[in-house]
Amino acid sequence: MSYQKDGPGPLLRCYLDRIHYPEALKARQYLEFEKQSAPKLECEHCGIVIGNPIVYEKENRPAYHMRPSFFIHKKMKALKK
């Protein structure tokens, strides 16, 4: 998954509007989001759940609450357009 993280520190939440790839995940930001019925964020290779759907209440923003011990992330340089 390609995600635009904001700020320092661990990845605790992934906001739907900051997911850039794959297209199927990116498209979720345009669908109606219900915490109870939204699909969980799963690894496309092994199917393990790495994030659970939430609505971040401070901003009333759909996101995934990440399970840090279930994934590895790395920083990448920004792509130039």
Render pLDDT for 7-49 as a digit per residue (tens, 0 to 9). 888 899 999 999 999 999 999 999 888 888 899 999 888 999 9
pTM of the model: 0.83
Residue 56 domain-assigned (yes or no): yes
Residue 3 domain-assigned (yes or no): no
Residue 81 domain-assigned (yes or no): no
From 20-24, 49-53, 67-71, the region with the lowest mean pLDDT: 67-71
Query: Rounded CA gap, 80 and 73, in Å?
Result: 21
Domain that holds residue 52: 14-70
Residue 76 domain-assigned (yes or no): no
Query: Rounded CA gap, 57 and 36, in Å?
Result: 15
Work out how many domains the chain is built from and give that number: 1
Residue 66 domain-assigned (yes or no): yes
Query: Rounded CA gap, 35 and 19, in Å?
Result: 18
